[in-house]
Structure 1
Amino acid sequence: MKIIHPIFQEPIVLEDDKVCVIQIENKKCYRELLCEILYQSKRLREGNLLITEEGKEFDLGKDIHVITDVLPVDSNQRKILGKLYQRMESTALESDFYLETQQILSQLQRFMTILTDDEMIALDFKDEISLQDLFKIADLKIECENIKLLEKLLDYLEVVQEFLKPKCIIIMGLKQFFEKDELEEIYKFVIYQGIRLVLIENAIDKESYDFEKKLIVDMDLCEI
């Protein structure tokens, strides 16, 4: 997999056993690249960032998961819950659960009919109660007990990989929140999980890390 952009002299090649860190020391360039990635991921405008693999260009809004701020990461965001509900619905309709599923939905429909028939005011409800409706009523969601940022982030990355299956994950400004040992723990985790992780940083970091491949673009926009 390669990352291509006019500010890079050559395509950046992502490696399966390393986290790619792009350290852009020029604040204006860093800001413009972040805005460009954000706009592309939300499909607000076209940009110059390309992520390709074997000649195929990926859609930043569909194939790449972009995290602009790690503080509010939420494993129960709408897109993830949608994938969870789809999986649970498929399970409920398999042969082992099919008969019981149909009976439960039929009983719910019958219960609503009996309940509303006793009202003097005319009431209306859906002709068919779906499993998706049932999941929402039950507030089905992913359990999130960790309150520490590191564990919360690792849980989130695992959930994203499991349900959204992005080609890679881009995180902006991750290093400002974690110490070296914590970063290396994140690196080991994503490599073990098969997650291709790209960090885009502005802070100057001269540390050497295991499992990290770094590209530095300095104040004069020269690569180091």
Structure 2
Amino acid sequence: MQFESEQEHKLVLLLERDPTVVDFISQPETFHFYDDKVRKRCYTPDFKVWRSDGQIELHEVTIEARREAQKPVPQREIAAQEICKQRGWRYIVHTEKTLPLGYEYVNLEFLAAFRGKSYITEKITGWWMKHLNGLERYYPRAILSLAGSVPANPPELTLNERELLNGLYYLLWHGVIQLEWHQPFLWQGDFHSNARIWLSAKDPIVSLRQEKDVYNKEELL
């Protein structure tokens, strides 16, 4: 996916995690309009988004100071809003104030590397579901300490820590397992002492089914 700035990258990460997003593309089309001095202008929004409910959106990423300098509203935004209204679409503007900052961005960027299906199996998912079931917010290292404490039968079915870690990161990215996004999760090569994880409030069976849907979508990409 093409993006031209760190702020656009942040929006891409949010869109990729959003289960209501079916697809999105960058720089979808160029609008032609006249400004208040009757000068012809061109404007290309940053992203076009298709939602699972059929809604279509155009998204613009800009700098807050740039918008402030063009108050009350930049003319290109007025033109885009009018075009979207005519089409029955939504037009949404993002700035650095509304996009992820600090630990939320750090966590998103790290976990994005584990979004691919190569990091997960049904067995790994089942392991995390089993060990987190009934727990509220739990330190992930304490859960991982259980790996290998009960020998598998046959032995070759034993999961190693790396497989479980990769699977955890996948499940966190896809929302099957939750974390405190605005808090530090990793620190100096291990989990931060305040890191906590828990199962999503969704029905685990539904979560597993959605996870399989992610497999299918990725196979089509």
Fold agreement, TM-score > 0.5: no
TM interval, short-chain normalised: under 0.3
Higher RCO (CA 8 Å, separation ≥ 6 residues): 1
Q: TM-score, normalised by structure 2?
A: 0.25
Q: Which has the larger radius of gyration?
A: 1
